[in-house]
Structure 1
Amino acid sequence: MRKLLFISLLLAGCTNSETTQSSKIYFDLAGLVNQQIASLTQKQPLAHKSLLLEEKTEAINTTKIDWKKEFELFLQADLNKQSYQLSYDVAEGPQKLSYTLKKGESLPVKLLVIVFDEKERPIHIEALLQTKNYLYESEKHLQMNLENNQVINYQIIGWQELFVGKRKNFKVNGILVNK
């Protein structure tokens, strides 16, 4: 009986500590994006996708998109990583939440903004990611618009410059035609 009580208390203690460790201190962007990935992978909606790389443009209409790859940068913009805790200033306004990297911090996510509708559902997400080291420098502006908790369009604009090359600009637009 004592062993059973001890094991029960031990398990309850482990559960509480796991909950504390996995609790989100910032908006759960990864949860939202993973939900979108699962939904879009299941539904396979028709999407109009255009890509601009330097001077070359390509546009396609397709239902065959690897949504995990497509939204990888949005997953990278999630702030709920242990090394990111306490690194952001938070500003809350009516239907808007902004996270700005604190001065002196050197994380890649510089800004994350979430706009909500009247039902407190995210309708617009914006992020700025910047990386700079001795090999390369890059910047990416991400935007995602949602309606009724479903992505309706997204955009990624950015550039990358290797230390021995010139800056390469790119732009990806995606519009979901039939959600």
Structure 2
Amino acid sequence: MARHIPIFFLVLLLATTACERPTPPTSAEAEASYNLTTYLEQQIERLQAEQPMVLKSVTTEGTPTETIETAAVDWKDELAVFEQADLNRPALEEYYTKQEQVLGNGSIIVEYNRVEDAEPLVHYLRLELSPDRKLKQLNALLQDQNVLFYSRRNVQLSADPASGNISGYRVEGVQKLVLSDSLHYRVDANL
């Protein structure tokens, strides 16, 4: 019987370790994905509190450019298109390939490309981060299509590399309803 006691403890030890939770990812793995939604929520909160002046130009096909300067901006609505580009969700991982590259100046480029035959909303996302992982630039291609509607938008967001705060953005796109002409448009905003 004394011989079976060490085997019993070995089996008990293996059963206990099998039930343990997996270790969280290392800090390098945890930093690999950038949470765009959290960043935008922080920026919306900051912008609503500060209410900076914004120079905004809107151009639609066949009409002259309209430019206004205002501090009255609904930032949640204004930045919603960029929230659509957030790919930091496990359910979306299978639709993209991801490449990360560190540049000579320490900046980090993270690119997501949709895999062939996948039809997600975000077709391409490129993030440029500072060495301390603050957003410097975002570029994305968003495309949505169904029987009644087609939309394709190239979106760009620029941030101050020192603070990470949004300094400007652009949305350029086309949309078409099934029984109407296409509408090409462009929105530029500088803070």
TM range (shorter): 0.7 to 0.9
Partner of 1:38: 45
Distance 1:109 1:59 in 2: 29
Q: What stretches of structure 2 of length at least 5 have no aligned partner?
A: 1-20, 103-107
Question: Is the partner of 1:86 in helix, strand or coil?
Answer: helix
Deviation track 1:24-78 (CA, whole Å, cap 9, x = no partner) reads 9842111111111111011000110111122222111000000000001001111
Deviation track 1:123-172 (CA, whole Å, cap 9, x = no partner) reads 00111100111111110011011012111110000010111111101111
Q: What percent of counterpart residues are identical? A: 27
AA in 2 matched with 1:150: N
Deviation track 1:61-112 (CA, whole Å, cap 9, x = no partner) reads 0000000000010011111345313221001111200011111211110011
Q: What stretches of structure 1 of length at least 5 have no aligned partner?
A: 1-15
TM-score using structure 1 length: 0.81
Partner of 2:143: 130
Partner of 1:13: none
AA in 2 matched with 1:75: E
Larger RCO of the pair (alpha carbons < 8 Å, separation 6+): 1
Partner of 2:67: 59
Indicate yes or no: 2:126 matched with 1:113: yes
Task: Give RMSD over aligned pairs.
Answer: 2.2
Moved over 3 A (4+): 23-26
Deviates more, 1:23-32 or 1:99-108: 23-32
TM-score using structure 2 length: 0.76
Partner of 2:11: none
Distance 1:48 1:105 in 2: 37
Distance 1:41 1:133 in 2: 34
AA in 2 matched with 1:42: A
2:82 to 45, 55, 74: 74
Counting strand residues as a fraction of each chain, which structure ranks higher?
1
Partner of 2:8: none
Q: How does 1:1-179 map to 2 (within 5 A)?
A: 26-56=33-63, 57-94=65-102, 95-147=108-160, 148-176=163-191
CA radius of gyration, larger in: 2
